[in-house]
Amino acid sequence: MDYRAKERLKKMVIEKSFRYRDNPPFTLASGKTSNYYFNCKTTTLDPEGMNLIGTVLFDMLKDRDVTAAGGLTLGADPLANALSLVSWQRGRPIKSFTVRKEAKGHGTKSAIEGNVDAGERVVILDDVITTGGSTIQAIERAREAGLEVELVIALIDREEGGREAVEKLVPDVRAVFTRTEITDGYDINNNNK
């Protein structure tokens, strides 16, 4: 593992993607409220962030027998694309794919976009796991397309039960960072440490 890349990525997440406020709390996609919020797109769509994410994810997967990685659009798309590019550069290509929220109503009417075929062993990615709903949706769609889901990796696990929900479908669920790892590096009074 390239620990310098992981530490730099953590710093970027704290600076660009993590927000804390007491009042009013943030409303999450699940409908719950929280004092903290992760908008990972400000990191995952940043050129340096993409390079770091690709490096960290590749290090997590380089010895795994997987051919592709993807997840529910939009959260997983930059992760999968960053991984795919870095894996190509490192000589061990891992393709990227996208899982649509709704299958196309025209053409192939596919819920999966990318160069993947039934029977391939894949990784499902997500930027943030809270309840696990979007990750579970991606797993189910991937399986419907005949893909074999080997593991799940989230950039951030909010530690709110989502990981455990996902583990009921795929036992191997990992996170680059947990909420605790991020909040331990954040100073509420001074915005960050």
Tens of pLDDT along the chain (193 residues)? 789 999 999 999 999 999 998 888 898 888 888 999 999 999 999 999 999 999 999 999 999 999 999 999 999 999 999 999 999 999 999 999 999 987 666 556 689 999 999 999 999 999 999 999 999 999 999 999 999 999 999 999 999 999 999 999 999 999 999 999 999 867 665 554 4
- Are the C-beta atoms of 115 and 95 separated by less than 8 Å? yes
Per the listing, tokens 């583990």 go with: 167
Q: Which CATH number fits domain 3-183: 1.10.10.10, 3.40.50.2020, 1.50.10.10, 3.30.56.10?
A: 3.40.50.2020
Alpha carbons 27 and 43: distance in angstroms, whole number = 20
pLDDT number for residue 110: 83
Q: Is 116 helix (H, G, I), strand (E, B) or coil?
A: coil
pLDDT number for residue 192: 47
pLDDT number for residue 193: 45
Angle at 84 between CA 172 and CA 107, to 5 degrees: 95
pLDDT number for residue 1: 79
Alpha carbons 30 and 85: distance in angstroms, whole number = 32
pTM listed for this prediction: 0.93
- Domain locations along the chain: 3-183
